[in-house]
A and B are shown apart, each in its own frame.
Chain A
Amino acid sequence: AQSVTQLDSQVPVFEEAPVELRCNYSSSVSVYLFWYVQYPNQGLQLLLKYLSGSTLVESINGFEAEFNKSQTSFHLRKPSVHISDTAEYFCAVAPYNFNKFYFGSGTKLNVKP
Chain B
Amino acid sequence: EAGVTQFPSHSVIEKGQTVTLRCDPISGHDNLYWYRRVMGKEIKFLLHFVKESKQDESGMPNNRFLAERTGGTYSTLKVQPAELEDSGVYFCASSLIGTGYGYTFGSGTRLTVV
Contacts and interface: CB of A to CB of B under 8 A. Distances in A.
Interface stretch (A11-19, A57-65, A76-84, A95-103): A95-103
Contact of A43 (B42, B59, B99, B107): B107
Contacts, number: 49
Interface size class of A (residues with CB under 8 A): 20 to 34
Contact of B43 (A9, A45, A90): A90
Main secondary structure of the interface of B (DSSP, over half): strand
A4 interface: yes
B45 A100 contact: yes
Contacts of A98: 31, 95, 99-100, 103
A43 B106 contact: yes
Given A43-B91, A43-B105, A100 B48 contact: yes
Nearest to B106: A43
A99 B55 contact: yes
9 contacts: A9-B40, A46-B103, A90-B43, A98-B100, A100-B48, A101-B43, A101-B45, A101-B103, A106-B43
